């Protein structure tokens, strides 16, 4: 096929802020996980599909159950169950307690609100 470019599981994107390897970033409507450290404004590779352990919101009533919708809180650079003002990025694939600093998320690979 002449017009095929790539599988699309990894995209080259300009980071909107400095992102460490394994950290999440929201680039417009695209959420991805940095494959390596990327300086703010620099282009880097971001995984947009797959299962990742991401920094998550902690505190009372923040526990996750398998199948919960997970959103990206771009202000605090962490995953959350709170939908208001945040971008849907995927679903929880492992339960997380209120005190867990990370949560396992299967990225949806789509750019929906």
Domain assignment of residue 79, yes or no:
yes
What is the rounded distance in angstroms from the CA atom of residue 72 to the CA atom of residue 24?
8
pTM, 2 dp: 0.91
- Total number of domains constituting the chain: 1
Domain assignment of residue 4, yes or no:
no
Give 9's strand partners: none
Domain assignment of residue 2, yes or no:
no
* CATH code for the domain in which residue 62 is found: 2.40.300
> What is the full per-residue pLDDT of the chain (113 aa) written as tens digits?
888 888 789 999 999 999 999 999 999 999 999 999 999 999 999 999 999 999 999 999 999 999 999 999 999 999 999 999 999 999 999 999 999 999 999 998 777 65
Domain assignment of residue 1, yes or no:
no
Please report the pLDDT score of residue 36 as a whole number.
97
The domain in which residue 36 lies consists of: 10-108
* Residue in 50, 41, 45, 38 with CA at minimum distance from that of residue 89: 50
Residue 85: C-alpha distances to residues 21, 22, 77, 97, 113 (Å): 25, 23, 13, 23, 10
Please report the pLDDT score of residue 5 as a whole number.
84
């Amino acid at each position: 096929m002449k017009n095929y470019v790539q599988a699309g599981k990894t995209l080259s994107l300009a980071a909107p802020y400095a992102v460490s390897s394994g950290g999440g970033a929201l680039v417009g409507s695209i959420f991805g996980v940095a494959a390596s450290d990327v300086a703010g404004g620099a282009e880097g590779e971001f995984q947009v599909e797959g299962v990742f352990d991401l920094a998550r919101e902690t505190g009372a009533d923040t526990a996750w159950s398998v199948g919960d919708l997970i959103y990206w809180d771009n202000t605090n650079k962490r995953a959350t169950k709170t939908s208001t003002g945040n971008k849907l990025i995927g679903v929880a694939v492992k339960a997380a307690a209120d005190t867990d600093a990370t949560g396992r998320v299967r990225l949806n690979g789509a750019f929906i609100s």
